[in-house]
């Protein structure tokens, strides 16, 4: 089977391999997301990462996104895109069954999304993203619910109220402002993108003046919808919100309120995630407009946030105990013991090879399994087993009947 040239063990550029410890973190993130949004009655949906390329040719996605998609032609001549974001997909799915679905619709998904980033920027080409969407509510109560979910997510991850702030703006107010400058639709888009990137651009004021012919001045007056939302959130105990007249969000499809959850750390003051209202997206599928509000939360940004604050959980291996064997002849007994423990809910591994006891223990320790249980002829005969705590080295002798409650009670 050997070939002259050996295969590379590297993954494709810009994507990640998730070894068990990495995957455990991703699972922690997604489990926390699921638990939180389900409490609000959101149901999970999903779709393939492959979508017809046409889906992104309309106005469903921002052009910047379109320029960065993975698009290819399949063997049947169809143009296929690896989804760069989930909103066009969820709009497509809702449009497809609009008559059968019961509105309001509360849906979430945790898809992987792809962007073809230039390699030198060191950014990832694939990440995982929680998408939460509420269809069918035109009232700003919908925005209030979205931001409540966003806030609860942060709290579920262990963030305190002063670790983050929700910045809120209204695209309609922004559009009114743009109107005052008499911009062409193209220059409006340029300006929107410029504002979206303002924290990353040093000479933002100069660039804006260049585009407008005069300095850009944001209105300080709080938008009435933003005020109402902030009041309703406050009544629910969520006071870490601000009106931010400069908030814009990248996507072109937003039609009203937009919001972003920001890290308040002065060293790392940046957007963690956000969303907004997009009432017109279903029109692209030939439907009447359906009010919609949603947001997306990426795994990489939130993981960084939690890591900096020491909020990520330690790795716990699936097995609670490694059953180690003195000889090949004791393996059959060890297997029946493992069967019993598993049926009582204790996850365990059994040694299956001719490794020395010391090596078996070393391996169990390397995998962070907390306990080892010895099975030798003496133990089988006496029915009394030595359980070793692999971190402290302390040992305990237990009867076969005591084993499962020992491992479960220490849960």
141 and 98 Cβ atoms separated by less than 8 Å: no
Give backbone dihedrals phi and psi of 348, rounded to 5 degrees, phi first. Answer: -150, 160
- Taking residues 196 to 235 in sequence order and writing x for each that binds a copy of itself by CB under 8 A, - otherwise, the string is ------------------------------------x--x
Q: Counting contacts by CB under 8 A, is residue 236 touching a copy of itself?
A: yes
Which residues, at least 6 apart from 149, have a Cβ–Cβ distance to it below 8 Å? 36, 37, 40, 42, 132, 295
Part of the chain binding a copy of itself (CB under 8 A), chosen from 1-9, 168-176, 198-206, 269-277:
1-9
Q: Counting contacts by CB under 8 A, is residue 248 touching a copy of itself?
A: no
Count of Cβ atoms closer than 10 Å to residue 155 Cβ: 15
Pick left, alpha or beta for residue 395 (phi over 0 → left; psi -120 to 50 → alpha; otherwise beta). Answer: beta
Pairing status of strand 70-73 against strand 105-109? unpaired
Part of the chain binding a copy of itself (CB under 8 A), chosen from 31-39, 171-179, 207-215, 268-276:
31-39
Give the separation between CA 85 and CA 55, rounded to whole angstroms: 11
Q: Where in 49-159 does DSSP place strands (E)?
A: 50-52, 70-73, 79-82, 105-109, 112-114, 126-135
Q: Residue 173 Cβ, how far from a copy of itself at the closest point, in Å?
A: 19
- Map the footprint of a copy of itself across residues 335-354, applying CB under 8 A: 335-336, 339, 342, 345-350, 352-354
Nearer to a copy of itself, 2 or 381 (CB): 2
Q: Residue 319 Cβ, how far from a copy of itself at the closest point, in Å?
A: 3
Nearer to a copy of itself, 208 or 341 (CB): 341
Q: Report the residue from 28, 283, 300, 400 that binds a copy of itself according to the rule CB under 8 A.
A: 283
DSSP structure class, residue 290: -
386 and 395 Cβ atoms separated by less than 8 Å: yes
Nearer to a copy of itself, 98 or 309 (CB): 98
Q: Report the residue from 29, 32, 42, 374 that binds a copy of itself according to the rule CB under 8 A.
A: 42
Q: Residue 288 Cβ, how far from a copy of itself at the closest point, in Å?
A: 11
């Amino acid at each position: 089977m050997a070939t002259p040239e050996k295969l590379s063990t590297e993954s494709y550029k810009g994507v990640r391999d998730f070894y068990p410890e990495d995957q455990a973190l991703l699972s922690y993130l997604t489990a926390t997301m699921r638990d939180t949004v389900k409490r609000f009655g959101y149901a999970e949906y999903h779709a393939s990462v492959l979508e017809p390329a046409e889906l992104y040719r309309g106005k469903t996605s921002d052009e910047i996104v379109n320029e960065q998609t993975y698009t290819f032609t399949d063997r049947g001549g169809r143009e296929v895109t690896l989804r760069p974001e989930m909103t066009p997909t969820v709009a497509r799915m809702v449009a497809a069954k609009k008559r059968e679905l019961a509105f309001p619709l509360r849906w979430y998904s945790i898809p992987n999304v792809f962007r073809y980033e230039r390699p030198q920027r060191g950014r990832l080409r694939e990440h995982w993203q929680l998408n939460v969407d509420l269809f069918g509510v035109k009232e700003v109560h919908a925005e209030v619910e979205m931001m409540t979910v966003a806030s609860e997510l942060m709290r579920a991850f262990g963030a305190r109220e002063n670790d983050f702030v929700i910045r809120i703006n209204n695209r309609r107010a922004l559009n009114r402002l743009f109107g005052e400058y008499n911009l062409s639709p193209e220059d409006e888009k340029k300006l929107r993108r410029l504002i979206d990137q303002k924290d990353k651009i040093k000479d933002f004021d100069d660039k804006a003046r260049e585009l407008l012919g005069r300095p850009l001045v944001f209105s300080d007056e709080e938008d009435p919808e933003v005020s109402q939302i902030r009041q309703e959130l406050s009544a629910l105990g969520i006071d870490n919100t601000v009106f931010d007249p400069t908030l814009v969000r990248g996507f072109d499809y937003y039609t009203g309120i937009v919001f972003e959850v920001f890290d308040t750390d002065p060293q790392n003051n940046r957007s963690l995630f956000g969303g907004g209202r997009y009432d017109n997206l279903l029109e692209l599928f030939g439907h009447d407009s359906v009010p919609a509000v949603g947001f997306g939360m990426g795994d990489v940004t939130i993981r960084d946030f939690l890591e900096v604050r020491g909020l990520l959980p330690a790795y716990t291996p699936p097995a609670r105990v490694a059953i180690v064997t003195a000889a090949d002849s004791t393996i059959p007994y060890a297997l029946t013991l493992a069967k019993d423990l598993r049926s009582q809910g204790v996850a365990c591994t059994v040694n299956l090879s001719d490794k020395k006891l010391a090596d078996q223990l070393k391996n169990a320790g390397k995998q962070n399994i907390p306990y080892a249980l010895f099975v030798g002829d003496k133990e089988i005969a006496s029915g009394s087993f030595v359980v070793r705590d692999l971190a402290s080295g302390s040992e305990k002798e237990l009867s076969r009947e005591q084993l499962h409650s020992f491992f479960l009670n220490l849960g």
